[in-house]
Structure 1
Amino acid sequence: MQPNTSHHLPCIGRRARTVSNRLAVDLMAAAEAAGVGPAQFQARTGINTQDLVDRDGRLDGARHKRCIELIHALSPSIEWLVDRQCGLYPHFPALGNHCFNASTLREAIGAFLQFRAIIGEFDFLFVKETPGWLQVEYVAEFMPQNGLQALANFQVLATLIRAYDVKENTVFHVSLAGAAPRNRHLLDDFFGTTARFDSNANQMRFDASLLDAPFPHYNATLAPYLLQQVQEQFRQVQQGHSFSATVEQLITEIVMDCDFDGSRKASLLSAVCERLETSRWTLNRQLRVEGLNFSDLETRVKLERACRLLRETRCSLSEISDMLGFSSQSAFTRFFRSGHQMAPQTFRQKSQQRHAAQNYSG
């Protein structure tokens, strides 16, 4: 980070961006504290319990946006946010271990900027250095005037910066868009000075003299191994963005859209091409590079969706058939049987029996 320069995450193209489901876990806890229970939270965001079981799971942008919109509407207390002594780092040990073992604060912030996509990919941090200050500006893709998102990111970054402050006297000057939250005095205690609200931008700045002071707890022997761990996790996140994953995610979103008319022939393929701003020929050519075709992805999505509807709802087979765009219930039954070697009604009965057995044993 040199004077008068800006640094941010690389521009992300049309691949399927995601966020860690750990964010949803924290947001669900905040919603519960504001009076919205887990079941209601999941119903309003489209996130289910299974989505949150895998600690390395990722969520698509549509559901993440619903989370942000819900939390914004609830205007929850910020106590849950500023009371987190270690920010989000316990959720992301590889990222935390690497960032907290740098030779200088400058190196630590650089590492955080480089690998923060492990947390999420729908916002940006722009860093500008002057001779006296380091300024961080936060820009969100969803609801950019919602200061709560910026506040959460500044809290995470401030936690990292304080770890490198030997004298423990860092003061953060924070300006946030939007109205002040309840218990705003907690922010003053956390950042060390009064935070400003209703600002034109979300910004945080602090004394740049801390940047290059040697970190006394730096472990040079351990550093290469910690870097390898975070690089591997970052690589796994990036690998989830193949073109086929992007197409599959779009198919899922379109199939789940209540306004989508799946009965029209080739309407699903046309809708995907329209969202990607590409032709059918180009789409199919790119999928062939990965050894797939559109029908493979459509089948996978519709089978997964059918299984979920059969397990988790009381929708009739006719209703499920209509939701998934089949011309008739018999066509849906043939499709399901080809994928699961059993009729959909049999699958539903077996799922109910399995669920009852689990409840009994519990």
Structure 2
Amino acid sequence: MNDSKTVSNIVSRSMFSFLQQHDVPAALIHRRTGITPYELTQSDTRISAAQHYRLMILVEEKREFLFSDYQPDLALADIFRCWGTLSSLLTNSSSLRQGVENYLKYRPIIGQTDHIQVYENDEQLMLEYLNSGPEILSASLASPLGNFTILAELIGHYDRQTYASIQVTLKGISANARQSQQLSSLLGFSCQMGAARNTLTFSKQHIDQPYDFYNHKLFETIQKAADSEINTIISNATPLTQEVKNCLRAHYQNPTVHQPNPANEITLICQKMSIPRWTLQRKLLHEGQNFTELAQQTKMEEACRLLQQRNLTLSAISERLGFSSQAAFSRFFRNKMNTSPLRYRNGLATYDKA
């Protein structure tokens, strides 16, 4: 599994909310997925593929509620609300074809943990959703349905006649004709459940018809912003950045080798990675990163994880993370989370009782 693949934490927050609505305690979700509350609450944070897959497995355990909770009309609205640059690009393309192509190209802004394959003949275009995760998710419902709903709304934005031609198949779901009919009614287009593949097919009759409201200059501006977001995601997932974060996590998780002085952290990491300090800083800068920010982010994530372990005192956590005192740790934590470590821990206790 490629650790460099990530998903926007906006997706994780949505899945987290769904699980809590159906009586899954927050503490259990954190424990099962390894996703910390800090990772969920920070803006512009990405969740690793491994964590995302574990969260998807939890969602699949509640799949019977997916239909009752599903609101397909909110698909594009959610993209506008959460990913403004992406939504602006998708709805201001020169044609339906370009709109679909842009969705496929810029989907990594939402997540990189799956794939959509395109097939085309003279009359139709077919998009097949392919799961890139563990085999247990091969029959996942949430991800293909979510992607197809966005694509369907995008198709409808450009041409309602083409929208009426949409046909969706969903694999691995045991369903009778009545259930397929219910889902079709909910979505507004034909949907066959229990198929061999996850596909969305639609007519190409109007796929290249120019979009009347297309603004080329605006498109170029938005595209540059979208390219910048993609480049940031790629740079944040580079092997060096990931390796530094992994070394920092190991450093914080092994108190027997921990040195209380944070100034020693970069020296220790350089020794572990066998790389000169200046070279490490230069390469991180080239990737749009710096060691201090990486260390603080990793330390914050580890602090949230350790606070879930109620046998650890705040003093012990402070020492493990290299703070000179518990007060220094509390100041750091409050600055990042707008609450004290103790209140944060008490909040987790409330979740435990849920």
Taking structure 2 as the reference length, what is the TM-score of the superposition? Answer: 0.73
Number of aligned residues: 315
Q: Secondary structure at the match of 1:138?
A: strand
Distance 1:287 1:201 in 2: 50
Structure ranking higher in helix proportion: 2
Query: What is the Cα deviation at residue 214 of structure 1?
Result: 1.2
Counterpart of 1:220 in structure 2 is 216
How far the C-alpha of 1:312 sits from its partner, in A, is 4.8
Percent of pairs with identical residues: 19
Relative distance call for 1:193 and 1:255 in structure 2 (3 A) is farther
**1: CA distance between counterparts of 2:27 and 2:37?**
9
User: Partner of 2:19 in structure 1?
Assistant: 31
Distance 1:136 1:354, change over 3 A: closer
| Equivalent residue, structure 2, for 1:231 | 227
Per the alignment, residue 157 of structure 1 pairs with 151
Which amino acid is 1:162 matched to? G
The alpha carbon displacement at 1:222 in A equals 1.6
Q: d(CA) in 1 for partners of 2:83 and 2:74?
A: 14
Q: What's the RMSD between the two structures over aligned residues?
A: 4.2
1:156-175 → structure 2 map (5 Å cutoff)? 156-167=150-161, 169-175=163-169
Q: Which residue of 2 aligns with 1:54?
A: 42
Aligned residue among 58, 64, 67 for 1:78: 67
Any unmatched runs of 5+ in structure 2? Answer: 258-270, 284-290, 347-354
Deviations 1:226-271 (A, max 9, x none): 11221121121111122222224545787899xxx9979xxxxxxx
Counterpart-to-counterpart distance in 2, 1:349 and 1:99? 43
- Aligned pairs for 1:1-362 (under 5 A) are 16-75=4-63, 76-87=65-76, 88-90=78-80, 91-142=82-133, 143-167=137-161, 169-180=163-174, 185-251=181-247, 284=274, 290-291=280-281, 303-304=299-300, 307-308=303-304, 311-316=307-312, 333=319, 336=321, 339-340=322-323, 342-343=324-325, 347=329, 354=340
CA distance in 2, matches of 1:31, 1:255: 32
Deviations 1:50-104 (A, max 9, x none): 2222332110122111110000111123243343433441211101101110111
Distance 2:19 2:305 in 1: 26
Mark the CA change 1:305 to 1:125 in structure 2 (over 3 Å): closer, same or farther: closer
* d(CA) in 1 for partners of 2:343, 2:16: 29
2:351 maps to none
C-alpha spacing 1:104/1:77, structure 2 compared with 1 (3 Å)? same
Does the 8 A contact of 2:91 with 2:154 survive in 1?
Answer: yes
Task: Structure 1 unaligned segments of length 5 or more: list them.
Answer: 1-12, 265-280, 322-331
Residues 254/163 of structure 1: CA separation in 2 closer, same or farther (3 Å cut): farther
Query: How many angstroms apart in 2 are the aligned matches of 1:219 and 1:308?
Result: 46
Task: Provide the residue aligned with 1:3 in structure 2.
Answer: none
Shift of 1:180: 4.9
Q: Residues 337-358 of structure 1: CA distance to partner in whole angstroms, max 9, x if unpaired?
A: xx43x14697469969945799
> In the TM superposition, what whole-angstrom CA distance separates every residue of 1:267-304 from its partner, at most 9, and x where no partner exists?
xxxxxxxxxxxxxx9x74699854489xx899879855
Question: 1:271 maps to which residue?
Answer: none
TM superposition score normalised by structure 1:
0.71
SS of 1:77's equivalent in the other structure is: helix
